[in-house]
């Protein structure tokens, strides 16, 4: 069993070769006795801008590990805990038909992968295109305004995360995270994601990783069908019987519903079928762009631009006067604001970065929490309609051509449209119009955002500068509803239906969605036996 050592500190100018020397000092052994050292976590301590340090947790392999730990008596030194073990007893129920997964975002992708690995031959249904073709459709939209309602930033292989920063940070503590990171690395992600404090892949690399995982699923006996949309489900006596996909009926005993948070037509179909759902809180707001150099200087001081330091990020939060949360979301260092609509005649923004995060601007969604009490009805779909209303307003305000409404922060405070751009060039494509964003946001959101920017400027000097670029609007921070499930991770109203991931209201980001997909796959495997 390896030894884990936490809190090994290196100065920013210190050579990485010193890491082994400090490990030996901690363990009170010579370097010859160490067989291998593996970095488990690397984080940057920039609390003192004049003395930035790197903090490491490492895994050490040597002989007599237990004896060494007992002698050291250091709270930072312990035997490593056992990671995720995917071995469990399979169910004895026999499938008549292969399990079906709808949606190929992180939840569907990893549910499909582990089912394929265990011999269940899953069938994956994805309404959008495979990632190679999807990339072309997205680029056509960004460059020419040619919107594809079935394959876009929200729909298609890899899900919404494929055209994002590819963040792999999560607040959940689940040993399945290591399994997921390892599979990402097998698919081509950089090995550093296993130990970076704030790991990310970047959209340029993530596209190939997703494709490679798809090919692995197919090689293990799984099927993947693109351009195939779930249109209906057939239920009898509270039990799933079959599904209708692009006009074809497919018998189905177990359906993993990993549809993502933007499949509004699917939500409407499920509602008509009396699948139990409930509205849930989410947040809406704007994308804010600053110069990345400002963020670097605020976080790293004199070390901004140091070759050992990556583009700086931030996480900001406060409460408004009416006790609403105002916070940054999906911060993209060196990134771009992108068009992310999934329905015609609506504006939705998102953030995206490439792996190197070398764009001139930093961007993040600055959003305000909304709750079911803000919606017009008690319907489970009321939050979705709330989103639609403001996305349509933004589309109309931008010029009805998928140009986004853009405004400088100083003018946002004064409730007037901007007439020129300052030193920060908006990155949104296909284009933008200078407008007053107050006209496409609820007043309580606009008021709370103004309070938030004033507070955040106290934490990052220049964050509230008049020339900061705001792009409207951000509405897809999380699903607007939850498809309620029981302790077996099955819908409480339809047996055989397994809602999962962000679209079902049980995740928030790539990692948590992937973990939830694995958990649902495990629930299926514990009831049914493999097909081989």
* pLDDT at 526 exceeding the cut of 70: yes
Check which CATH number belongs to the domain holding 251 and give it: 3.50.50.60
Tokens 């969604």 identify what position? 365
pLDDT digits (tens, 9 = 90+) for 97-118: 999 999 999 999 999 999 999 9
The answer to whether the beta carbons of residues 84 and 491 sit under 8 Å apart is no
Q: Is residue 90 one of the residues assigned to a domain?
A: no
**Mean per-residue pLDDT over the chain, rounded:** 95
Q: Which one, of 481, 520, 473, 514, lies nearest residue 162 by Cα? A: 514
Name the residue with higher pLDDT: 1 or 235. Answer: 235
Q: Are residues 413 and 495 in the same domain?
A: no
State how far the Cα of 494 lies from the Cα of 238, in Å rounded to an integer. Answer: 5
Q: Are residues 41 and 128 in the same domain?
A: no
Q: Are residues 289 and 336 in the same domain?
A: yes
Check which CATH number belongs to the domain holding 42 and give it: 3.30.70.2700
Q: Is residue 310 one of the residues assigned to a domain?
A: yes
Q: Is residue 94 one of the residues assigned to a domain?
A: no
Q: Domain tally for the chain?
A: 3
What is the extent of the structural domain holding 54? 3-79
Q: Are residues 23 and 167 in the same domain?
A: no
Across residues 220-234, what is the average pLDDT?
98
Q: Are residues 268 and 331 in the same domain?
A: no
State how far the Cα of 500 lies from the Cα of 146, in Å rounded to an integer. Answer: 31
pLDDT digits (tens, 9 = 90+) for 441-463: 999 999 999 999 999 999 999 99
Q: Are residues 13 and 125 in the same domain?
A: no
Q: Are residues 341 and 415 in the same domain?
A: yes
Q: Is residue 532 one of the residues assigned to a domain?
A: no
State how far the Cα of 345 lies from the Cα of 397, in Å rounded to an integer. Answer: 11
State how far the Cα of 18 lies from the Cα of 308, in Å rounded to an integer. Answer: 15
Contacts of 313 (CB under 8 A, 6+ apart): 198, 295, 299, 331, 333, 362
Q: Are residues 27 and 72 in the same domain?
A: yes
* pLDDT at 264 exceeding the cut of 90: yes
Given 25, 47, 79, the domain boundary residue is 79
Peptide bond into 244 cis (omega under 30): no
Q: What is the pLDDT of residue 175?
A: 86
Contacts of 443 (CB under 8 A, 6+ apart): none
* pLDDT at 170 exceeding the cut of 90: no
The answer to whether the beta carbons of residues 473 and 455 sit under 8 Å apart is no
Question: Checking phi first, is residue 97 left (phi over 0); if not, alpha (psi -120 to 50) or beta?
Answer: beta
Tokens of 425: 């060039």
Alpha-carbon dihedral sign for residues 239, 245, 251, 256: negative
Tokens of 253: 């005993």
Q: Is residue 88 one of the residues assigned to a domain?
A: no
Q: Is residue 175 one of the residues assigned to a domain?
A: yes
**Phi, then psi, of 132 in degrees rounded to 5:** -65, -45
Across residues 492-496, what is the average pLDDT?
98
How deeply is 438 buried, as exposed, middle or buried, from its count of CB atoms within 10 A (0-12, 13-18, 19+)? buried
* pLDDT at 267 exceeding the cut of 90: yes
Alpha-carbon dihedral sign for residues 343, 348, 354, 355: negative
Q: What is the DSSP string of 467-514?
A: T-EEEEEE--SS-SEEE-B-TTSSBSSSBTEEE-TTTTTS--SHHHHH
Q: Are residues 274 and 288 in the same domain?
A: no
Q: Is residue 86 one of the residues assigned to a domain?
A: no
For the CA atoms of 103, 109, 112, 117, the dihedral, rounded to the nearest 10 degrees, stands at 170
Q: Are residues 290 and 213 in the same domain?
A: no
pLDDT digits (tens, 9 = 90+) for 503-512: 999 999 999 9
SS3 32: helix
Q: Are residues 161 and 236 in the same domain?
A: yes
Q: Are residues 384 and 509 in the same domain?
A: no
Q: What is the pLDDT of residue 80?
A: 82
Given 474, 500, 516, the domain boundary residue is 474
Q: Which one, of 78, 341, 355, 339, lies nearest residue 196 by Cα? A: 355
Q: What is the pLDDT of residue 85?
A: 66
Given 22, 49, 79, the domain boundary residue is 79
**Phi, then psi, of 334 in degrees rounded to 5:** 50, 40
Q: Quickly state the pLDDT bin for 383 (edges 50, 70, 90).
A: very high
State how far the Cα of 511 lies from the Cα of 501, in Å rounded to an integer. Answer: 10
Q: Quickly state the pLDDT bin for 86 (edges 50, 70, 90).
A: low
Length of the chain equals 532
Q: What is the pLDDT of residue 171?
A: 75
Q: Is residue 95 one of the residues assigned to a domain?
A: no
């Amino acid at each position: 069993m390896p030894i884990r050592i936490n809190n090994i500190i290196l100065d920013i100018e210190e050579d990485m070769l010193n890491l082994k020397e400090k490990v030996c000092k901690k363990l009170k052994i010579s370097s010859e006795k160490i067989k291998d050292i593996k970095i488990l976590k690397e984080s940057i301590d920039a609390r003192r801008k004049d003395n930035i340090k790197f903090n490491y947790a490492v895994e050490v392999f040597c002989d007599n590990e237990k004896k060494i730990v007992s002698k050291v008596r250091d709270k930072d030194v312990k035997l490593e805990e056992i990671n995720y073990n995917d071995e469990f007893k399979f169910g004895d129920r026999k499938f008549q038909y292969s399990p079906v997964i709808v949606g190929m975002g992180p939840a569907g992708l990893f549910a499909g992968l582990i089912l394929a690995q265990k011999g269940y031959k899953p069938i994956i249904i994805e309404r959008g295109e495979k990632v190679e073709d999807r990339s072309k459709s997205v680029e056509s939209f960004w460059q020419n305004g040619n919107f594809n309602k079935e394959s876009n930033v929200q729909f298609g292989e890899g899900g919404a995360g494929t055209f994002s920063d590819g963040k792999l940070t999560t607040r959940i503590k689940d040993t399945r995270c290591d399994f997921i990171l390892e599979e990402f690395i097998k698919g081509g992600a950089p090995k550093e994601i296993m130990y970076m404090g704030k790991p990310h892949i970047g959209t340029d690399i993530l596209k190939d990783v997703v494709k490679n995982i798809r090919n692995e699923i197919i090689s293990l006996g799984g099927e993947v069908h693109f351009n195939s949309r779930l249109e209906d489900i057939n239920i009898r006596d509270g039990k799933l019987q079959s599904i209708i996909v692009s006009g074809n009926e497919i018998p189905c005993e177990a359906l993993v519903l990993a549809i993502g948070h933007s499949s509004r037509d699917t939500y409407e179909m499920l509602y008509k079928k009396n699948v139990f759902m409930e509205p849930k809180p989410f947040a809406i707001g704007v994308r804010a762009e600053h110069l990345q150099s400002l963020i670097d200087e605020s976080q790293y001081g004199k070390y901004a631009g140091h070759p050992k330091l990556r583009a700086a990020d931030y996480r900001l939060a406060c409460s408004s006067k009416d006790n609403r949360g105002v916070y940054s979301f999906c911060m993209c260092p060196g990134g771009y604001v992108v068009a992310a609509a999934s329905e015609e005649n609506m504006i939705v923004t998102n953030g995206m970065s490439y792996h190197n995060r070398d764009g001139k601007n930093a961007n993040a969604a600055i959003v305000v929490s909304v709750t079911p009490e803000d919606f017009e009805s008690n319907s489970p779909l009321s939050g979705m309609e709330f989103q639609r209303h403001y996305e349509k307003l933004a589309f109309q305000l931008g010029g009805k051509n998928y140009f986004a409404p853009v405004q400088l922060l100083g003018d946002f405070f004064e409730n007037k449209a901007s007439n020129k751009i300052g030193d920060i060039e908006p990155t949104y494509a296909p284009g933008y119009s200078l407008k007053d964003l107050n006209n496409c946001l609820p007043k309580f959101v606009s008021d709370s955002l103004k309070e938030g920017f004033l507070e955040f400027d106290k934490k990052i000097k220049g964050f509230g500068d008049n020339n900061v670029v705001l792009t409207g609007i951000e509405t897809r921070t999380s699903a607007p509803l939850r498809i309620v499930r029981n302790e077996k991770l099955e819908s409480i109203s339809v047996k055989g239906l397994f809602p999962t991931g962000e679209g079902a209201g049980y995740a928030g980001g790539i990692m948590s969605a992937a973990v939830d997909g694995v958990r649902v796959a495990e629930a299926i495997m514990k009831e049914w036996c493999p097909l081989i």
